[in-house]
């Protein structure tokens, strides 16, 4: 499920996975025909927030439970535990044996999975609306009755370690991204990979997962999102029935992390078996903190669209088509996060071209934008094109729920959506230039280069029994 913002490999995705996300992916749902669907909210006495979005186009419902606990809440030495517990949540309770959760959802004609990020962990089911009580019964059961045994942990930690090998260590771009994050962030826990360092996984015990579960998997640290062909009043009644009896618990204090101001370019080279070199340029940038008062994140979103909003955008038009310096190139930015963000430029140099030439060309494009500005016609075209693209891509009940859950779990609210859209549409050409000048500078920059090494020719190992979850 690579369309998600977050991954066990990190926050930022390569171009093939869709660089445009953030507000322009989460907020543009408003433009769809079903944008008028009402959203209802209620908080149960135990602190569980329940958000319902009615969408009566098809007899389908999506249930998502979002816990505001991700890898940024982990302690040094137990990195990866949030993701490990995500796996363990499918290992059964006293009432639902190992493997039975997924079997019952499948027997009801539904699908289910989970994903872990820096900022949160979420679990979802999508099935016929008549099966919502079943999904709630199963999900509420494992919220507080998980049977987290050392025996099952011992099996699953091996699956996670193999997942790390296949998705990070054997994937040169993912490895480059991981190493870049470790260098980019000096203080913030975003420096650690979501899937965890291998040494921490090797040393992890069942007790670490049990401690994480007790700390964070409580109703007052969760948001229940339901979208589909339902009535809000009926969903609230079901939520009270299945989740209302779970006791709230005192949450541990959360440290408010900051990131020291960077002074000078950071550079790293990662050698790994690969066919082609790859370049990533990551600039420190802010995320949305106050939807009504912030303006810079919205301007950064538009900047990303101008550089890489479509095949005719500046980077592709100039560096791929005209100069033929790159075979692929892109820009990406996440504006919704609990912590700070990055603005990323990346690409693969064309045959006969070097990474240094591509870096110089990307820098030249930024300088040109700052010097020459953005025309009103270009600004409006980029906004319209990105909106149209994202509306068609995200026209689904699942992403309606994703939109709500991501906002609620990142310190914002689904009520911020109209405000964000208004600010996005109000972005001016001058603001785009201003944020490019303020943030796309060397003192904010980390440059990571993949130096391709000869391929070994050894066949990749098969995925272990148990499989991987969606990340």
Q: Which residues are catalytic?
A: 86
Beta bridge partners of 450: 270, 278
Q: Of all helices (H) and strands (E), which one includes residue 65?
A: strand 60-67
Share of the chain residues as helix, strand and coil, in percent rounded to the nearest 5? 45, 20, 35
Q: What are phi and psi of 116, to 5 degrees?
A: -120, 145
d(CA 362, CA 315): 8
Biggest alpha carbon–alpha carbon distance for the chain: 65
Taking the CA atoms of residue 83, residue 85, residue 87 and residue 90 in that order, the dihedral angle to the nearest 10 degrees is -150
Q: For the residues of 27-46, what is the DSSP string, one character each?
A: TGGGGSGGGG--EEEEE-TT
Smallest CA-to-CA distance from 170 within 270, 272, 79, 80 is with 272
d(CA 20, CA 13): 9
Pairing of strands 266-273, 111-116: unpaired
């Amino acid at each position: 499920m690579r369309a998600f913002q977050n991954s066990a490999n990190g926050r930022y995705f390569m171009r093939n996975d869709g660089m445009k996300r953030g507000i322009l992916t989460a907020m543009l749902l408003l433009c769809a025909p079903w944008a008028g669907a009402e959203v209802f909210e209620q908080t149960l006495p135990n602190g569980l927030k329940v958000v319902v979005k009615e969408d009566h186009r098809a007899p389908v419902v999506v249930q998502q439970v979002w816990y505001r606990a991700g890898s940024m809440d982990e302690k040094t030495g137990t990195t990866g535990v949030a993701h490990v517990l995500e796996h363990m949540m499918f290992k059964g309770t006293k009432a639902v044996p190992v493997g039975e959760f997924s079997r019952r959802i499948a027997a009801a004609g539904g699908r289910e999975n989970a994903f872990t990020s820096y900022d949160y962990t979420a679990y979802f089911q999508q099935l016929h609306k008549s099966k919502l009580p079943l999904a709630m019964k199963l999900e509420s059961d494992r919220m507080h009755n998980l049977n987290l045994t050392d025996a099952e942990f011992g099996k699953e930690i091996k699956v996670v370690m193999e997942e790390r090998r296949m998705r990070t260590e054997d994937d040169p771009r993912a490895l480059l991204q991981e190493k870049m994050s470790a260098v980019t962030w000096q203080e913030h826990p975003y420096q650690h990979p979501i899937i965890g360092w291998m040494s921490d996984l090797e040393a992890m015990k069942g007790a670490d997962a049990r401690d994480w579960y007790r700390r964070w998997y409580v109703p007052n640290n969760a948001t229940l999102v339901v979208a589909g062909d339902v009535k809000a009043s009926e969903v609230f009644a079901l939520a009270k029935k299945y989740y209302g009896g779970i006791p709230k618990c005192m949450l541990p204090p959360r440290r408010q992390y900051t990131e020291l101001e960077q002074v000078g370019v950071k550079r790293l080279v990662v050698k790994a078996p690969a066919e082609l070199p790859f370049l990533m340029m990551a600039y420190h940038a802010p995320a949305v903190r106050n939807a009504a008062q912030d303006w810079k994140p919205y301007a950064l979103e538009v900047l990303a669209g101008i550089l890489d909003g479509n095949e005719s955008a500046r980077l592709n038009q100039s560096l791929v088509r005209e100069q033929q310096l790159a075979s692929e190139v892109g820009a990406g930015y996440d504006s919704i996060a609990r912590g700070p963000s990055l603005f990323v430029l990346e690409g693969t140099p064309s045959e006969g071209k070097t990474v240094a030439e591509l870096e110089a060309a990307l820098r030249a494009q930024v300088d040109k934008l700052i010097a020459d500005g953005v025309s009103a016609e270009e600004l409006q075209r980029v906004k319209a094109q990105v909106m149209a693209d994202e509306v068609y891509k995200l026209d689904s009940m699942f992403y309606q729920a994703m939109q709500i859950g991501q906002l609620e779990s990142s310190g914002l609210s689904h009520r911020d959506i109209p405000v964000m859209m208004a600010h996005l549409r109000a972005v001016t050409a001058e603001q785009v230039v201003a944020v490019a000048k303020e943030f796309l500078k060397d003192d904010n920059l980390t440059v990571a280069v993949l130096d391709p090494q000869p391929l070994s020719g050894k066949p990749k190992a098969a995925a272990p029994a148990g499989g991987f979850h969606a990340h």
